[in-house]
Amino acid sequence: MSRPSNDEAPPQTAGIVERLVRDDLDRKRFLKLAGSAGAASFGAFVIAACGSSKTASTASAPASTAGTASTSSTGDIAILNYALTLEYLETEFYGKVVASGLFSGKVGSLIKDFGQQEMTHVEALKGAVEKLGGTPATKPEGKFPISSADQVAQLAYTVENLGASAYLGQAPHIQNAEVLASALAIHTVEARHAATLGTLVKKPVTPDGAFAVPSDMSTVLAAVKPFLA
C-alpha cells in the first residue's frame, strides 16, 4: 500500500475573495449583488452599513442564508460578531466624547455623525448575525481616556484606522458574498472617518501609503484590550 505524500493536505474551504478571483460565475454574482439597486434586503443592509440617514432601528441584513447553520455561515457569524464587538466599542467611545462636550461647532457635529454611523453599524451587524441564525455578541464594557480635545481626536484617528484594517483583514475569510460586500461597505466608512480625523490631527490620511494594510484578529484584539473594562 502506498503512503500518502506529505504534500497532500485536507481540502480547505475557499473564502469568497479567493473564489471571486478563480471563478468567473462567483465574480459575476458578487458584482450583481454589490451593484444592483433593486436587491431589496441586501441593498437595505449596505445602505445601513454606509451610514444611512435612516435610524439605526430600520437597518436590514442579508436574508439569503437565513435559517442555515452550515460551516461557512458559522465562520461568517464569528467574523460578524468580532466586527460587532469593535463597533460596540466605537459607538460607546463616540457617545462618551459627545457627552464630554470637548467639541463644538462643525467638528462637534462631525463627531456626533460618526457616532451615529457607528451605532448604525452595530444594528446592521446584529441583524446580519441573526439572519444567519446566530446570536449577536454581548456588548462589552469600555473604558476610554477622555482628557482633552486633542487627545481624543488622536485616539479617534487610531481607533478608526484600526477598525478599517480589521475589516480588511477578515475579507479573505468571509464565505458569503453579501456579507463580504456589506463588510467592505463598512470598511470604506471606517477609512473615511480615519482620513477625516487625519486632517484634524495633521496626520497622514493614508498612513500605509497606496495600499491599506490588513490586521489579523489577534492583533486587533490586543490593540483594543486596554479599552475593555
- Is residue 184 domain-resident? yes
- Is residue 51 domain-resident? yes
Give the closest residue to 189 by CA, choosing from 107, 119, 108.
Answer: 119
- Is residue 210 domain-resident? yes
- Is residue 143 domain-resident? yes
- Is residue 7 domain-resident? no
Q: Which residues, in sequence order, are bridge partners of residue 142?
A: 228
The three cell numbers locating residue 9 = 493536505
pLDDT of residue 207: 94
SS3 172: helix
Find the CATH number of the domain harbouring 115. Answer: 1.20.1260.10
pLDDT of residue 71: 56
SS3 63: coil
pLDDT of residue 227: 93
**C-alpha angle 171-174-178 in degrees, rounded to nearest 5:** 100
The three cell numbers locating residue 138 = 454581548
- Is residue 23 domain-resident? yes
Domain range for 30: 16-227
- Is residue 9 domain-resident? no
- Is residue 11 domain-resident? no
Query: d(Cα 176, Cα 182) in Å, to the nearest integer?
Result: 10
What's the whole-model pTM score?
Answer: 0.72
Structure confidence by residue, pLDDT tens digits, 218-228? 999 999 999 99
The stretches in the chain having pLDDT less than 50 are 1-12, 34-69
SS3 142: strand
The tally of domains found in the chain comes to 1
pLDDT of residue 181: 87
